[in-house]
Structure formats: structure tokens, C-alpha cells
Amino acid sequence: MSALNTRVSLLALACAFGSYSAMAEDSSLTNPSISAVLDGYYQTGDRPLAERGEGFGLGETELALSANIDEMFYGKVTAVVESHDGETELNLEEAFIQTLALPSGLSVRAGRFLSDVGYLNNQHLHTDAFSERPAAYRAFLGGHYFDDGVRLSYVAPTDLYWTMGLEAFGGDSLRAADEHGERDFDDVGVFTALTKIGGDIGVESSWQLGLSYLRNENGLAYAEEHDDEEEEVADEHDHSHSASYTGENTYIADFVYKWAPNGNYKYQNLTVSGEYFRVTDIFGEEPGHVDDVGDVDDHDHELSGDDYHEGWYLSSVYQFSPSWSAGVRYGQVDTFEIHEDHLDPQKLKETEVSLAWHSSHFSTVRLQYTHQQGTNFDGFEDDNIVTLQYVMSLGAHGAHQF
């Protein structure tokens, strides 16, 4: 019996050693990439729909862990620490797995992750060239839209880069306001379809165009009579990244152009990008609403022919030396706010200029000037705001998106 136990123990030891040796062949299985991003700022005023407030503050402190799970799957977890109104909260921004070896250019991602709609949304905030996302992102996607769901992606075998994707999400952060907590929301509320195509122009230039469609089954806001006290409650968001303006259909068109002398982006480069958002079918009446003559209307009723929000931005960032870059961005949103039986138009215009110093690829100190003009945004007036920001990355730092 003793000899048998000895042989079994030696066999177990050999199997364990063999498994460890196999894992050691792929360093990512035993040494996952670990990183942290520190974001701090001082700002001279408040901005509509924005996360950063006046005075000293912290942006998102990001902690990330990623690795190949095995030859078939990759996994990533990203936690974000945020401070709002003197309170600190921990959000899980990413926790997903993705396939690595599906045939025919297909891949599947499942869990919690950033949606691939638009140009900026699938990029983390610390990679931005400005201290805040454009107003259109803040209004319609809560800054950046991440959610629990699944994505199917396909990369076509063409000379040009061409990818397509379908996504399905829970959609909690994109739900329309529910003033009385009585709405029956769909559990799977958001579906997206997207495509992106791009290529090179010679050695020095490259481009990409994208089209995205987002269907929000829970995005229609119902017209209800309410007093001012109820309005204040309705304006509060349970989720720090909830969209302020929703609708059933969101259409996004985006483009980006990049240039670098001789294709070398290290010393000098230019990026020009822009996006246009149109959010339609935004207001209606409760299904089964009884009209003034006692008839039941089984269809959502539009309050206005102008039943849509829209927004856009255009950005240009020029890195004129390895350590310095400058950017300019203009954007605006045109939205409607509901008050009983009528709509109040709102408009926000932002002109931004930034100058950034990069000690290395891992550190940035940014000085930004913002001129904002707002109409019918409660508590905000035309203003000139200066922001001083630092963004520092510790540990592993993967390549940025195109």
C-alpha cells in the first residue's frame, strides 16, 4: 500500500509540474498584465452634463487586470474608483471574456464591456485628448456606455479593414426616467449594429469611417403631469453614467483621419475626428392612454414633429514634438426637455483648446480652456472654464485604439 501511495503521489506531482510547465510557455497565463491609471484635476467652474466639478477633484482611478486565459479565451477586469459630491464609489467597468480562435474572422465577447458604437466609446477615458468627453457623449451615452451583454464581431477578408458587429445589452443606464417607479422595463433593452471600414493613403495617412445604430427598447420617455418637486427627483440618476437624454433609436456616424510623416507617429502626428448623433422617438404617451374623449390610444403618441435630439463634434489634435501636443474641439447638442404637455428646447455649445505635455507615453499634464454657451440648462450660464489635469499610468499599458 505504501508503494502504491508513493507511485500515486509521484504521478500527481508529475502532472502538476507538467501543467505548470505548459502554463509557463505562455507568460500571460502566469503573469497577467496589471495596471493603474491616476487622474486628478483642478477646474475653475462647472460644466453641464459633466462628471468633473469646480475646484480640486479626482477623475476616474482605473485598476485593470488582463491575460490570455488559455489558447481559446482572453479575459479582462477593469474597476474604476470615482468621487462625486464628496462620496467615493467603486464601479466595475469591465469584466469580460473574449474568444481568440474562432474561424472566419469571427469573435465573441461576453460579460461587461464598452460598447463598440461610435468612435470614442470603446476607448477608456484616460486616452482622450481633452478632459471631458464631447457633450453629445455625455448627453446620450452617459460619457461612455458600458453594460452587461454579448457581442458578435466579424472582420471581413478584404484589402480594406472592414469589421461588423452585433451587440445585446441589459441597458439599465440608458433607460428613460421612471418618475413613479411603475414602468415595466425589458431585461434586454439595448441592441446595436455597427460597421467600420478603413485603410491607408500612402505611407503617411490612414482613415476610418463608421456607422452605428442603437435600439433602446426602454428609451421612450412618457409625458406625464408632475410638479416641480417631482421634476427634481426625476433629474437624479441612480447610475453615475446614466444618459441624460434617451430615445428609442440612436444613429451615429463617425470618421477619423490620421497623419504622421513617413508613418512614424512617435515624433509628430495629426488626428482629425468627428461624430454626429441623432436620437429619435424620444417622447410619447403611456400605451393604453385614455384621451380627452375617452378613447384608448394603443400607440405611443408623439408630442411634437421635432421629436429628436441631436449632437456633434469636430476635433483636431496635433502632436508637434514627442513631448507636446495641442488640440481644438468644437461641439454642440440640441435637446428637448419635457414639461407637462410641451417641450422646451435646449442647446449647449462648447469650444475647447488644450495643450498637453507628455513626459513619456505613461504621463500627461494637460491645460485646457473651455468656452461654453448654454440655453435652458438649469444652473448653468455662459462661462469660460480652465482645467488643469494630470493622467498617469502605472504598470502594463496596452496600445490605444485607432
Given 3-state DSSP classes, what are the helix, strand and coil percentages for the chain, each rounded to the nearest 5?
Answer: 10, 50, 35
User: What is the identity of the amino acid at 209?
Assistant: L
Q: What is the DSSP letter of 255?
A: E
Q: Is residue 61 part of a domain?
A: no
For the chain, the domain total comes to 1
Q: Is residue 65 part of a domain?
A: no
pLDDT of residue 268: 94
- Partner residues linked to 348 by β-bridges: 333, 374
Q: Is residue 345 part of a domain?
A: yes
d(CA 327, CA 311): 20
DSSP per-residue codes, 189-214: -EEEEEEEEEEEETTTEEEEEEEEEE
Give the pTM.
Answer: 0.86
pLDDT of residue 341: 65
CB-CB contact of 142 with 117 (8 Å): no
Q: Is residue 82 part of a domain?
A: no
Q: Is residue 325 part of a domain?
A: yes
CB-CB contact of 105 with 155 (8 Å): yes
Burial of 87 (0-12, 13-18, 19+ CB in 10 A): exposed
Q: Is residue 118 part of a domain?
A: yes
pLDDT of residue 83: 80
Here the CATH number for the domain that contains residue 294 is 2.40.160
d(CA 277, CA 142): 13
d(CA 195, CA 400): 19
Question: What is the extent of the structural domain holding 175?
Answer: 91-395
Q: Is residue 105 part of a domain?
A: yes
pLDDT of residue 21: 42
pLDDT of residue 180: 74
Sign of the Cα torsion 395, 398, 399, 402 reads negative
* Ordered per-residue pLDDT tens for the chain, 402 residues: 444 443 434 334 344 444 434 444 455 555 789 999 999 999 999 998 888 999 999 999 999 999 999 999 999 999 999 887 778 889 999 999 999 999 999 999 999 999 999 999 999 999 999 999 999 999 999 999 999 999 999 999 999 999 999 999 999 999 998 777 778 899 999 999 999 999 999 999 999 999 999 999 999 987 664 444 434 333 434 446 789 999 999 999 999 999 999 888 888 999 999 999 999 998 876 655 545 444 444 443 345 455 899 999 999 999 999 999 999 999 999 999 877 667 789 999 999 999 999 999 899 999 999 999 998 887 787 899 999 999 999 987 766 777
Q: Is residue 33 part of a domain?
A: no
- CB-based contacts of 232, cutoff 8 Å, min separation 6: none
Sign of the Cα torsion 177, 180, 181, 185 reads negative
d(CA 98, CA 26): 17
